[in-house]
Chain A
Amino acid sequence: MASSSASRASSYDVFLSFRGEDTRHSIVSHLYEALTSRGIATFKDDKRLELGDHISEELQRAIEGSDFVVVVLSENYPTSRWCLMELQSIMELQMEGRLGVFPVFYRVEPSAVRYQLGSFDLEGYQRDPQMADMVPKWRQALKLIADLSGVASGQWYVFFLAQD
C-alpha cells in the first residue's frame, strides 16, 4: 500500500562518508562503534578502491540503499576526488528527499566549506582537463552541504580541538 519511496528496501540505516587519513582512527571509528552498538546498520567503506572516474557501483548502491548519511568534512576531504564524487551523489539524493544528511564539520569551519577556502578550494581540479567539467557540480554539492549548517533542525555538528 505504501508508495515506492517508503517501501524501498534499505540495506543500511546510515552511510558514513569520510576521508580515511584524517578521521579513520578518531571520530569515524567512534561513530561507527556507537552506531552499531545501538543496532543501527552502518556502512563504513574501509578499503576504498580509488580507481577510475566514478565511484564504484557497490558504493553507489550502498548510498542509495541508506536512509541517512553522515558526512565527516575534514581538512583533506576535498583533496580526494572520490570523496567529492561521493558527496555529489549524496547531495543529489538529498535534494530528491531520499536521504537525510548529517554534516559534521570536523576541525574545519562551515564557512570554509561554503566559500570553498583553504583546502576546499577546488582550483587545482579546475586545471586538470579530465576533471574540469565535474568541478561545478562539486562546488554545488559543497555549497549545499554547508547550507545545511545554516538551517536544519540542529542536525549538524562542528567539532574543534580544545586548543585550536
Chain B
Amino acid sequence: MYFSSHKTEFYYICIILVLVFFFDYSIDEATMVRKIVEDISKRKTLKHKIDFRNFVGVDTHLQGLKSLLDMDSNNDEVRMIGIWGMGGIGKTTIAKCLYDQLSSQFTASYFTQDIKGIHKELDLLHLQNRLLYNTLGDDIMPWSVEAGREVIAARLGNHKVLLVLDGVDKLVQIHALAKETRWFGRQSRIIITTRDKGLLNSCGVKTIYDVKCLDDKDSLQMFKQIAFEGGSPPSVDFEQLSIRAARLAHGLPSALQAYALFLRGRANSPEEWEEAVCGLESTPDENIMEILKISYEGLAKAHQNAFLHVACLFNGDTFRRVTSLLDVSRMESNLWMRVLAEKSLINITSNGYVTLHKLVEQMGREIMLASGKFIGDPETIHDTLVSIYLILDIHLVILQLIVLTAIFSITREWDKLKASPYTYVK
C-alpha cells in the first residue's frame, strides 16, 4: 500500500515534469506558428486587395512611373518622385497600384493612408510611429518630431525602403517622414502624391509625374465598364446616354466613377436613365465638388479671390489678359496664377492660355453663388460680368479720349487765361 502510493506520487511527478517540459516549448512553437500565420495572412490581404481593372489607363501610368523610378538600375541612389495632379484624377489609385506591384522588391515598405491636413506635432509623431511600426515592427513613440527623424534615419538607413506618402499638402509632413533621401538605405524609393507642385519643388523633388485627364474614348470605356455588367450597354439608347453622361465628367476618373455608380442601379429603362442624366447635367455630384473644394480651401485668402475671378470670368482667356485684369500689380498677379497652377486648380497652356477643368470651374461658381455676393444664375453672372469688363475696356478708351480732350481744352483755356487774366475773376 505504502509502496504503491509512492509509485503514484512518482507517476504524478513524472506527468507534471513531462507536462511542464512539453508545455514550455510547445507554447513557444505555437506562438511562433501563430505569428507566421498572422504575418502571411496580413501580407496576403495586402496582395489581393487591389483590383484596378475599372481604372482605364492605369497601365500606361504605371509604365511611365516605373521608368521614372528606374527600378532595374544598379545605381545605389535613393530616388524621390512626385505624382502630381488635380483632385479626383486618381493619384492615390495609381500609387496604390504601384505599391502593390513593387513592395515585394523592398525589404521594408509602407503606404501612409491619406495624410491631408495633418500638421500638429502630436499627429506627426503618430505618423512617424506608424512608419516605424509598419516597416520594422517597432512600436516606438518619439518624444519630438526631431527625435523621430533621428530614429527613422538610424533605423531605416540599412533598409531598401518603399515609402508612399499619400495626399501630402504640407511641407511638415514630408519633413517628418522623409526629409532627406540619405535617411533611407540604398536603392530606396520615396513616392509623394500631391495636388501641390510647389510643395514638391520646395523639398527638392525634381522627378514629377503629371497625371492628366482621360480622353473621350477612355472616359467612355471606363464609364461603361463601371455602369454596365460586362462593360457593354444593353441597347443603343443606353450607348447614347453613356456618351452624354461620360462627357459630364470631363475626363476626371473619380467623377466618371461616381456618375457610373449612380446610374448603374437605374439600368431598367432608358427613360429613367435619361432623367438621371439630365439631373446630373444640371447639378454636379456633391462628392466630386467636395473633393475639388479641398484644393480651394487650402488657398490663402488673396489666392482664393483670384481663383474665383478666374473660375467665374476668365476660363479660356489669355494669360496676359487675365493677369492685367486682376486688381493687383502685374507681377503679383503673375505669381498668383503660378500658385493656382501649381495647386492644380488652373492650367496655363504652353501657348499662353489659362484653362480650368470644367468641373473646377463649376466648383468655383458654386462657391461664388453660396457666398451670396451675387444672386442669379452663374451663366448670366458670367455674361454680365464679361460685358462689364468689356464696357470697362471701352471706358478706358473713352476715358483716355475725355482726358485728352480735357487737357486740350484746358490748354486752350489756359491760353485764353493768359490772354485776359480777369476772365475768371468774379
A contact residues vs B (CB 8 Å cutoff): 1-3, 5-6, 13-14, 26-27, 30-31, 34-35, 38, 40, 67-68, 70, 97-100, 102, 104, 151-155, 157, 159, 161-162
Complex CA–CA separation, A38 to B44 (angstroms)? 12
Cβ of A159 and Cβ of B32 under 8 Å apart? yes
Complex CA–CA separation, A152 to B137 (angstroms)? 10
A/B interface sample: 15 pairs, CB < 8 A: A27-B29, A27-B33, A35-B37, A40-B40, A40-B44, A68-B40, A68-B43, A70-B36, A98-B104, A100-B104, A104-B36, A154-B39, A155-B39, A162-B24, A162-B28
Residues of A within 8 A of B52 (CB): 1-2
Binds A, one of B54-62, B83-91, B303-311, B321-329: B54-62
Cβ of B36 and Cβ of A31 under 8 Å apart? yes
Residues of B within 8 A of A35 (CB): 37, 40
Cβ of A34 and Cβ of B58 under 8 Å apart? no
**Who on chain A is nearest to B37 by CB?**
A34
Complex CA–CA separation, A13 to B105 (angstroms)? 18
**Who on chain A is nearest to B35 by CB?**
A157
Q: A35-B40, A40-B44, A152-B107 are in contact. Are A30 and B33 (CB under 8 A)?
A: yes
Cβ of A30 and Cβ of B30 under 8 Å apart? yes
Residues of A within 8 A of B207 (CB): none
**Size class of the B contact interface (CB-based, 8 Å):** 35 or more
Residues of A within 8 A of B33 (CB): 27, 30-31, 34
For chain B, residues 80 to 108, give those with C-beta under 8 angstroms from any C-beta of chain A: 100-102, 104-105, 107-108
Residues of A within 8 A of B136 (CB): 153-154
Cβ of A159 and Cβ of B29 under 8 Å apart? yes
Q: Does B53 contact A (CB under 8 A)?
A: yes
Q: A67-B44, A159-B29 are in contact. Are A2 and B53 (CB under 8 A)?
A: yes
Residues of A within 8 A of B102 (CB): 97
Complex CA–CA separation, A159 to B32 (angstroms)? 8
Residues of A within 8 A of B28 (CB): 159, 162
Complex CA–CA separation, A5 to B44 (angstroms)? 15
Minimum CB–CB distance for A75 against chain B, Å: 16
B contact residues vs A (CB 8 Å cutoff): 24-25, 28-30, 32-37, 39-41, 43-44, 47, 52-53, 55-56, 58-59, 62, 100-102, 104-105, 107-109, 134-137, 158-160
Residues of A within 8 A of B55 (CB): 1
From the candidates A3, A30, A100, name the one contacting B43 in the complex (CB within 8 A).
A100
**Who on chain A is nearest to B47 by CB?**
A67
Complex CA–CA separation, A80 to B59 (angstroms)? 44
Complex CA–CA separation, A144 to B243 (angstroms)? 55
Complex CA–CA separation, A100 to B44 (angstroms)? 10
Residues of A within 8 A of B108 (CB): 151-153
Cβ of A151 and Cβ of B107 under 8 Å apart? yes
Count chain A CB atoms within 10 A of each CB in B37, B41, B56, B109 and give the residue with the most. Answer: B37
Q: A3-B101, A26-B29, A67-B47 are in contact. Are A153 and B107 (CB under 8 A)?
A: yes
Minimum CB–CB distance for B218 against chain A, Å: 12
From the candidates B24, B25, B37, B43, name the one contacting A31 in the complex (CB within 8 A).
B37
Minimum CB–CB distance for B189 against chain A, Å: 13
Minimum CB–CB distance for A51 against chain B, Å: 31
Residues of B within 8 A of A68 (CB): 40, 43-44
Minimum CB–CB distance for B20 against chain A, Å: 10
Q: A67-B47, A100-B43 are in contact. Are A38 and B37 (CB under 8 A)?
A: yes
Complex CA–CA separation, A133 to B38 (angstroms)? 39
Complex CA–CA separation, A2 to B100 (angstroms)? 11
